[in-house]
Structure 1
Amino acid sequence: MIEARNEPTQQEREAADWFTRLLNPPVENEDLEAFQAWRRNPDNLAAYNRIEDISRLALSLQDDPDMRAIAHAARQRRAPAPPPWHRNMLSKARQRWAVGIAITGLVAASVIVWKLTAPTYSTDIGRQTVAELPDGTRVRLNTDTALKVRFDNGLRRVELLRGQAFFDVAHDHAHPFVVVAGDTEVRALGTRFDVRRADGGAKVVLAEGKVAVTERGSRSAAWTLEPGQTLTTGRRNVAPAPVPTDLAVATGWTEGRVSFRATPLEDAVDEINRYSRDKVILSADVPAHTRVNGDFAIGKPMEFVTAMTTLYGLKADRRLGGDIELKAPEG
């Protein structure tokens, strides 16, 4: 683990200073010569390489919530006075930016290391898996899902990067269990719940226990769900609110099936397509809002297609590549 320090070393300050100068052309020949002389010192070169590595990795994680928090903290810092050897070399703005890199980089490095080494669990399209976390929590990952796990500082934290997962949380009142899905955070203690990332937000279904759900930027502080309720965040112009849900339908995927109850055909097709690389496609002449009912095996799109052709008289044509198009009956 990288140990965070409050202040950078002199070499780290100088390395950040040179890094900033070289990013802002034009660079004079005398400056390049001075840089080459400075980096001949192995300790200086090592410090400069660390700054480069931190900058490159931070750029790759620039949209990550933890990195955004670090960047915000850096902007709030007041830069100390630059050392005499380079006081006249940089503008004031450049000085503040350089020192900010050196100070913040030490903290960012620890976050970057976690981002690159935290335990990651994932599934491919059409696959599911069950993972047991270090605390005994069992997580079932649905199709095309990825999550990262971080347990430290008394907090059990899981980041749902994409897809859907069902959590059977081990009881540990001293260590809260938190699932982060984009701007949505679900906090629980000994409970069973489902989280799915979708449409820029998340859908949370509570099967057992209690959870508190928050959404960054929302006017509401938090929502508390009771068993049998669901909450969807991230929908524009729709205020999130807990509503009753059919648990058998909402969590049917954990038993290998998808269930539809008066579901619009276009939505049913989208759900079926999550589990197969061969997609079902609705022709423009098919009534997309036709209501669909039934339970279908996951990963078997032909079972769904056969039901649609039988019940609604649709025609199925297989395309090159494996996709299946549903068309309205002729005549």
Structure 2
Amino acid sequence: MRENTAGQELNEAYRHPDRAMDEALDWLVRLEAGGFVDRGARAEFDVWLDAEPSHRAAFEEIKTLWASPETLVAAQELDIHLRGLPVPLDAARKMPRHRIGSQAWAAAACLAVVIGATYLALQSMPRMLADYTTDAGERREITLPDGSRMILNTDSAVYLDFAGSKRGVRLIEGEVWFDVVHDATRQFHVAGHYSDVQVKGTAFVVKVQGDADTVLLQRGAVDAVHEQKSISLVHLVPGEMVVASSDAMSPVEKFDDERDLGWLQGRVVIDAKPLGDALAEVGRYFDGRVMVLNRSLLDVTVSGDYRTDRAQAAIAGLAAAAGGKTTVLPGGYIIIR
């Protein structure tokens, strides 16, 4: 019953809303990352540069960003978030000239993280086996074979185990809300990386992020069981949460319904967080990459209530609140400086 959502093709065209910036990026990569540039191409560039004042201004701006040492540092961080393979530079060189502008910046930015490409490709393999997935910014509701419901948050993947009398879901990555139909004879299981949530009928959320599983109970009762049997089972009542790491269960805590479950209504609430943490949260809903050149901004405290379907605007708002400025580049890149 596999049903994967199709991701955006690698070669799909992208254009910056600022035509001058889009053309400047095209020229930058052709001149700086495209190998030998003949006289004809150089003359064509000079004509373009002198055609309008906006051309020279755009080229100078992007050339400054390209040359910044912080750009390399920020680009190296992309290997944590990259979801697909980078475009090899030699492949970019073979593209027709009219196509290279839409992919060139992505190819150039990925040069800094090409070493991590194999590792990232291996990481993506479990997702390929999923029964249901969501892309960045997508929210999706599924009715399970027993009538239970689940809502997948952004960038999530699950596969199902309903063979025979089983009722089970494994969360590969992301965050999922469950509303489980009561069945006294069959427990419903949700497995994360380190935990197994066992219920007979209730509403709860399981989130797999980084090196931890988070379980939040909205209604009913659940037992959270660690994969290490020596660690005690945790019983939750409504409004409580627990986090399972590789070797422990956290103390039970209360959670904030608006902050932690706001995504069910398409909201993401940032409550007095450092910009770095806020970008990590909002960035889950953005189908692109965020590069912070001004690292001092990362510790500035920000707050806000944003729509998950307007993640780019949310990132710009957070950056502005921290005193930064944003530039949007082809290939889904946002640079904060």
**Number of residue pairs matched by the alignment:** 210
Cα deviation 1:101-141 (Å, max 9, x = unaligned): xxxxxxxxxxxxxx9xx981222222121000111101001
Q: Does the C-alpha gap of structure 1 residues 306 and 199 become closer, same or farther in structure 2, counting only changes over 3 Å?
A: closer
Task: Give the conservation status (yes or no) of the 8 Å contact 2:131–2:159.
Answer: yes
Instruction: Tell me the equivalent position of 2:145.
Output: 134
Structure 1: unaligned runs, 5 residues or longer: 1-114
CA distance in 1, matches of 2:191, 2:260: 20
- Partner residue in 2 for 1:274: 284
TM-score for the superposition, normalised by structure 2 = 0.57
Q: Which residue of 1 aligns with 2:221?
A: 210
| 1:149 equivalent in alignment to 2:160 | yes
2:141 maps to 1:162: no
For residues 123 and 305 of structure 1, what CA distance do their matches in structure 2 show? Answer: 21
1:287 aligns with 2:307: no
8 A contact 1:137–1:169 mirrored in 2: yes
What is the rounded CA distance, in whole Å, between the counterparts of 2:148 and 2:189 in structure 1? 12
Give the Cα separation in 2 of the matches to 1:283 and 1:224: 44
Instruction: Choose which of 226, 230, 233 in structure 2 pairs with 1:222.
Output: 233
Q: Percent identity?
A: 29
How far is 1:153 from its partner? 5.0
In structure 2, do the counterparts of structure 1 residues 289 and 239 end up closer, same or farther at CA, with 3 Å as the change threshold? Answer: farther
Cα distance between partner residues in 2 of 1:284 and 1:235: 34
Q: Which residue of 1 aligns with 2:193?
A: 182
What is the match of residue 248 of structure 1?
258
- Change in Cα spacing, 1:269 to 1:288, as seen in structure 2 (3 Å) is same
Counterpart contact for 2:139–2:153, Cα < 8 Å: yes
Q: 1:148-174: CA deviations, max 9, x gaps?
A: 122245431111112111001111121
2:274 is matched with 264
Question: d(CA) in 1 for partners of 2:195 and 2:327?
Answer: 41
**Can you list the C-alpha shifts for 1:62-105, whole angstroms capped at 9, x where unaligned?**
xxxxxxxxxxxxxxxxxxxxxxxxxxxxxxxxxxxxxxxxxxxx
Alpha carbons of structure 1 residues 171 and 208: separation in structure 2 relative to 1, 3 Å: same
Root mean square deviation of aligned Cα:
2.3
Measured against aligned partners, the alpha-carbon deviations of 1:40-78 in whole angstroms (never above 9, x if no partner) come to xxxxxxxxxxxxxxxxxxxxxxxxxxxxxxxxxxxxxxx
Distance 1:140 1:309 in 2: 30
Note closer, same or farther for the CA distance 1:240–1:133 as it changes in structure 2 (3 Å cut): same
Structure 1 runs (4+) deviating above 3 angstroms are 152-155
Please list the CA deviations of residues 8-40 of structure 1 after superposition, one character each: whole Å capped at 9, or x if unmatched.
Answer: xxxxxxxxxxxxxxxxxxxxxxxxxxxxxxxxx
Change beyond 3 A, Cα 1:202–1:299: same
Q: Secondary structure at the match of 1:213?
A: strand
Kindly indicate whether structure 1 or structure 2 has the higher relative contact order, using CA contacts under 8 Å at least 6 residues apart.
Answer: 2
Structure number having the greater helix percentage: 2
Residue in 1 that maps onto 2:329: 319
What TM-score does the superposition give when structure 1 sets the normalisation length? 0.58
* Correspondence list, 1:1-331, <5 A: 120-152=131-163, 154-217=165-228, 219-234=230-245, 239-327=249-337
How big is each residue's C-alpha offset from its partner over 1:247-301, in whole Å with a ceiling of 9 and x where there is no partner? 1111111111111112221111112221222223222433323222221111323
1:304, CA displacement in angstroms?
A: 1.6
Residue segments in structure 2 that go unaligned for 5+ positions in a row = 1-125
Structure 1 pair 271/176, CA: closer, same or farther in 2 (3 Å)? Answer: same
1:195–1:204 contact (8 Å) kept in structure 2 = yes
Contact 1:260 1:295 in 2 (8 A): yes
Distance, in Å, in 2 between the alignment partners of 1:199 and 1:218 is: 22
